Amino acid sequence: MNKNVNYAYQYLSRTERIYFILNSELKEELTEFYKTTCKKNDIPVIELHDIDKRNGHPTIKGMEQLKNQVFDFIKADFEN
């Protein structure tokens, strides 16, 4: 898992803005691992919350919520 974050940081961050989308309902140790790794590499974390799901997967409503949360975070980031 750490390889993916490091790859993104080393190769993509030179020309692009990278965001990490952190799913809700992960084990606490995974959540902390991703947040710590992203902070160390100056990668903003979009922490999803309150996504409507059925059998662990986003519903149509959940996909809309996911889109809105990502869009709102990126919009706010560019406005700062």
pTM of the full structure: 0.77
Alpha-carbon distance of 68 to 62, in angstroms, equals 10
CATH for 2-79 is 3.40.50.1110
Identify whether the C-beta of residue 69 lies closer than 8 Å to the C-beta of residue 49: yes
- pLDDT of 5-51, one tens digit each? 666 666 665 667 889 999 988 999 999 999 999 999 899 999 999 99
Rounded to 5°, the CA angle 32-21-8 comes to 90
